[in-house]
Structure 1
Amino acid sequence: MKVIDLHCDVLYKLSIMSEPFSFGDADVIQANKMRLIKGEIQVQFFAIFISPEIPQSEKFTAAMRQIELFHSKVITPNPEIIHITDWTQLDLLKEGEIGAVLTLEGADAIGEDLGKLNALLDAGVKLVGLTWNPANAVAHGADEPSHLGLKPFGETVLEVLNERNIIVDVSHLNEQSFWDVLPKVKHVLASHSNARSLCDHPRNLTDLQAKALVEKGGHIHIVYYPPFIKLDFEDLTLVDLMNHFTHFANLVGEQHLGLGSDFDGIAVFIEGLQDASDTQQVVQNLRKHFTEDEVRGITANNFKNYIIKVIATS
């Protein structure tokens, strides 16, 4: 069954490799091309993530370097991987083709420079997370005190993102930033977050946040990272992951759910879900809880329906 996966960190991993590994089949890359094919990934979102350890003066260059790697390692050597620069391309993908979408995981790279933001958007970034876990010039991340919210520069950033019909990703925001952003944003979703009522981690969404996000027209994409699934994750199984799907389905409806693996950004795994090639294990387990049409929705069609609305309101 075809899958749309809203988050992986392949580009960051490529950027820190000291050897010239191939995206096609390098074993160290959890979402390499061969594994995407085996996992039946039809569309993979590729995040630009900049480590907080990189000096601010070097972050934009690091972001542009990852975009260069996206083209030189992912797109150019692999003609079957199609860079999605317009959402209408999703319905034009042929059998055997994989859509590739650029995203920004944290706006650290732009500092307080809208020119840098526009440069990243011009390069094809279609979805923007305002923060990673720390704060930046835009907002406060999940590691920050929950009462600190969107910053003044963030208001301006949101205006640009709204004007350019960019989807805003709330996955890494702290609670106040989430609540500050939600009424101001045009297109919104959580690309890789789980239910805080099942796993009390600041990276997860409370039930109140989940309801508000869906009421705003947003989506929730479930992440495979064990610490976001269960606080005591030593004996984690796919059953525990399914609990997050069923919880959110009961809370907001399965038609608002999707997948956001976080492969290549994680180093601990659910048993049987080690890399993108295992993605159909998620599909098989979803079938135990949902109808076939509902499973097709969660794996891909829900996001396609979401994008239809994004296009219609752009």
Structure 2
Amino acid sequence: MREPASSPYPLVDFHCDVLWKLLEHEELSFDDHSDSRIDVTPGRLQASQAILQTFAIYTSPQKASQAAIWKSVDLFYDKVLSNPRMHLIRDAADIDHAMNNGLTGALLSLEGVDGLQGDFTMLRLLYRLGLRAVGLTWNHANWAADGVLEPRQGGLTAKGGQFVEECERLGIILDVSHLTERGFWELADRVKRPFIASHSNAKALCPHARNLTDDQIKALIAIDGRIGITYVPYFVREDGKATIIDVLRHIEHVAGLGGAKQLMLGSDFDGIEQYVQSLRHPADVRKLVNEMLKVFPEQVVTDITSANAIRFLKQQLPAK
């Protein structure tokens, strides 16, 4: 067992797609000797002094099924949690255990509920297996809501509204990163608990559909939700030729709106084929930290890299 992270800037990343790659390519494994197609590995997490990594269950809309979700959960347990450096995060006590023992917490999320096929019993079973965050959509429409690329730009369906209520009852964190703006506001009107955008940037700087308007960012700040700045290059710059300084500008923008205590990181590693220059895997995030230190006080950098996310999780996850 390694020592607890000694860096004043340990990292939390609220979104990666390793499980999708493991699902699509059965020959891959979650280890330090894996194919170069894997961005997030245990060694890179350790090198970045990651204290928590969120692993998203994702299947393409064409392959979405209950079986694919179950297989993804099995991969999470069999390939990720079997690694001695990883620790399943179900509740606040698990976060403390990981941090106190130098482990990386592994939080399970669901990116798009297409494969649930409206089955709330399955949602409850997934919760018992560790699911703690859910995004209603990916980019297109499903039985629960419209995604940001759906032409009609609708909101939640009636069953989607019921699903939101069940997530609230269970204590599952809701994620709006792929939801339409109409769906965002409908969800905001329904929920009592704060929600997150796990991997989205500022639309004022890059007008991609997946980014958030200033009004959305301010709404998340007002409810003490969280905004995970992402490294998808075409969410960072319209031409996709993004640098770490461009990522920093999104962080500065949200902080300038009053969101320094609501910012976190949501890389989307393993869900992208293009990269921000010099930002290709978790160990590279140290370069972003170094740039943040040039413009923010040390405490603000600590908040963005981990403290904001950890504080949110300890408030929103079950006590035990």
TM-score tier by shorter-chain length is over 0.9
Q: CA separation in 1, counterparts of 2:24 and 2:268?
A: 17
| Structure 2 contact 139–150 (Cα < 8 Å) conserved | yes
Closer, same or farther: CA 60–211 of 1 in aligned 2, 3 Å:
same
Normalising by structure 1, report the TM-score.
Answer: 0.94
Q: CA separation in 1, counterparts of 2:72 and 2:286?
A: 28
Query: In the TM superposition, what is the alpha-carbon distance from 1:60 to its structure 2 partner?
Result: 0.8
> 1:43-78 deviations in whole A, cap 9, x for unaligned?
000000011121x5xx111011011001111111x1
Identity, % of aligned positions: 38
Equivalent of residue 25 in structure 2, options 14, 17, 25: 17
Query: In the TM superposition, what is the alpha-carbon distance from 1:311 to its structure 2 partner?
Result: 5.0
* Larger deviation, residues 267-276 vs 241-250: 267-276
Query: In the TM superposition, what is the alpha-carbon distance from 1:18 to its structure 2 partner?
Result: 4.1
Query: In the TM superposition, what is the alpha-carbon distance from 1:213 to its structure 2 partner?
Result: 1.6
Query: In the TM superposition, what is the alpha-carbon distance from 1:255 to its structure 2 partner?
Result: 1.0
Equivalent of residue 182 in structure 1, options 184, 188, 204: 188
Please show how residues 163-312 of structure 1 align to structure 2 within 5 Å.
Answer: 163-185=169-191, 186-234=193-241, 236-310=242-316
Q: CA separation in 2, counterparts of 1:195 and 1:22?
A: 32
* Larger deviation, residues 175-184 vs 116-125: 116-125
Q: Which residue of 2 aligns with 1:80?
A: 85
Q: CA separation in 1, counterparts of 2:30 and 2:312?
A: 33
> 1:259-306 deviations in whole A, cap 9, x for unaligned?
000000011111110111211111111111111111000000011222
Q: Which residue of 1 aligns with 2:108?
A: 102
Instruction: State whether structure 2 residue 88 is matched by structure 1 residue 63.
Output: no
Gaps in structure 2 of 5+ consecutive residues:
1-8
Closer, same or farther: CA 20–31 of 1 in aligned 2, 3 Å:
closer
Gaps in structure 1 of 5+ consecutive residues:
none
Q: Which residue of 2 aligns with 1:115?
A: 121
RMSD: 1.7
> 1:162-211 deviations in whole A, cap 9, x for unaligned?
10111100000011111110121223011000000100011000000111
Residue identity matched to 2:299: D
User: Secondary structure of 1:42's match?
Assistant: strand
* Larger deviation, residues 167-176 vs 21-30: 21-30
Equivalent of residue 94 in structure 2, options 82, 89, 93: 89
Equivalent of residue 40 in structure 1, options 49, 52, 65: 49
Equivalent of residue 50 in structure 1, options 29, 35, 59: 59
Q: CA separation in 1, counterparts of 2:79 and 2:146?
A: 33
* Larger deviation, residues 176-185 vs 300-309: 300-309
User: Secondary structure of 2:109's match?
Assistant: strand
Closer, same or farther: CA 299–195 of 1 in aligned 2, 3 Å:
same
Q: CA separation in 1, counterparts of 2:54 and 2:317?
A: 18
| Structure 1 contact 146–175 (Cα < 8 Å) conserved | no
| Structure 1 contact 145–174 (Cα < 8 Å) conserved | no
Q: Which residue of 1 aligns with 2:5?
A: none
Query: In the TM superposition, what is the alpha-carbon distance from 1:307 to its structure 2 partner?
Result: 2.5
Residue identity matched to 1:116: M
Normalising by structure 2, report the TM-score.
Answer: 0.92
| Structure 2 contact 148–181 (Cα < 8 Å) conserved | yes
Closer, same or farther: CA 311–96 of 1 in aligned 2, 3 Å:
closer
User: Secondary structure of 1:37's match?
Assistant: helix
User: Secondary structure of 1:306's match?
Assistant: helix
Residue identity matched to 1:189: I
- Aligned length in residues: 309
Query: In the TM superposition, what is the alpha-carbon distance from 1:308 to its structure 2 partner?
Result: 3.5
